[in-house]
Amino acid sequence: MEKRIVFHVDFDYFYAQCEEIRDSKIKGKCVAVCIFSDRGGDSGAIATANYNARNFGVKSGIPIMLAKNKLKEQDSVFLPADFDYYSEVSSKAMEIIEKYADVFEYVGRDEAYLDVTKKTESDFHNAEHLAQQLKNEIRNSLKLTCSVGITPNKLLSKIASDYKKPDGLTTVKPEQVDEFLSPLKIRVIPGIGKKTEDFFVQMHVNTIEDLREINIFDLNKMFGRKTGGHIFNSSRGIDEEMVKPKAPTIQFSKIITLKKNSKELKFLRENIEKLCVQLNEIAIENNKMYRSIGIQFVNEDLSTRTKSKMIKNPGNNVIELKKVVNQLLEEALIEQEMLVRRIGVRISEFSDVEGQRDITNYF
C-alpha cells in the first residue's frame, strides 16, 4: 500500500485567539469567549478559553458564573461569541492552508486535513519543512498560531496535532507509531468519551499500551463489531480513511436558546415547531424544495448532537417538515442524558421549484 503523509491542522483556542487578534490589548490576560443565553445576566456557558484561563480551570462548557468565580483574582476578559467574525478569519486561513495540499478536507472553522503525499514525495523530512512554511505563512498573514500533526493517516494526525499544543508540530513516522501511542491515555482516541474511558479504567486499562492487551473478540463483545473494531485498530494506529475533498455544506438552519434547560418532549416540541415554520418560509421565499431534514441539540455542557433523515421526495410543506422533525426529536430523546440548552432545525439537499432558474440570491 502507498505510504501516505497526512497533516491535521488545528487552530489553538480559536475563538479566543481571534479576539486577541482583534484587540491586542487583551493578549496576556485570561480570555473567555461566552455564549450568553437569552435569560439575561451571566446566564450561559464558555465556548472556549485561552491557555491563561485554562490554567485556572476555565474550559469549554462550564457556566459563565463559575468561570468568573475561578478568575475573580485574575486579570480576565469575558467576551460574547462573534461567529461571523470567526468564520471570516477561518475563511482567510483555509485559503492559505489549501495551497499546501494535494487533497484538502475542510472539517470546521478551526481544523482541516491535508494529504501532502505528492507534494512531499512521501518524505517526512520534506513534510516537516512544508508544515513549518504553512505555520509561518498563517502567523505572518493572520497572526494566528496552529498546531500540526504529521503522520501516515488521519487518525494519528488528529492525535499528533493535539500532542504539543499550543503552536505545536509533531511528526510520527510509520516506524514510530507504537512508541508514540503506547504511553498516551486512551481518551486521546477519537470516539472514546468519558463513559468508555471510565469503563476501561475500572478494568485497570489506562493507556493505549494497556488497551492493546485486549483482543478483538472481547472488544466486539463489549462494544459490538463496529466500535470494537474501531478501538482495536485505533490503538494500533490503523486508519484506512482517505483525505477527501469536502464541499461546503449548503443548508438553511435556525437555532434558539431555550428559556430553560430541558429534555421534556412537550417543551422541546413547542420550540422546535416554531423553527419549522420559519425555515419553511425561507425555503418558499427562495423557491427551494428540500430532501434532507435534521435537528440539533446543544447540550448544557455545549456538546452538540445531531440527527437527520432524507425524505423520499423533495418538498417545502410545513406539515411534513413538522412531522419529520417531531419523529427525529422523539428518537433523539430516547438516548438523551443531558439537558438541552439550545435546539435547532436544518434543511438541505435542495432542488429548485419549477420555473426558478436564478439561484444567486441563495448563495
CB 76 within 8 A of CB 27: no
Q: Using the structure block, give the residue that is written with the C-alpha cell 446566564.
A: 43
Burial of 131 (0-12, 13-18, 19+ CB in 10 A): buried
Strand partners, 344: 255, 296
Strand partners, 150: 7, 171
- The DSSP element (H or E) to which 232 belongs, if any, is helix 225-234
Q: Which of 111, 273, 335, 349 is catalytic?
A: 111
301 is in an annotated binding site: no
Closest to 79 (Cα-Cα) out of 37, 38, 31, 143: 31
DSSP assignment of 156-185: HHHHHHTTT-SS-EEE--GGGHHHHHTTSB
CA pair distance 347, 154, nearest whole angstrom: 29
**What backbone torsions phi and psi does residue 37 show, to the nearest 5 degrees?**
-85, 175
Q: Tell me, yes or no, if 285 is annotated catalytic.
A: no
CA pair distance 258, 279, nearest whole angstrom: 18
10 is in an annotated binding site: yes
Catalytic site positions: 111
Which positions make up the binding site for Mg(2+)? Answer: 10, 110
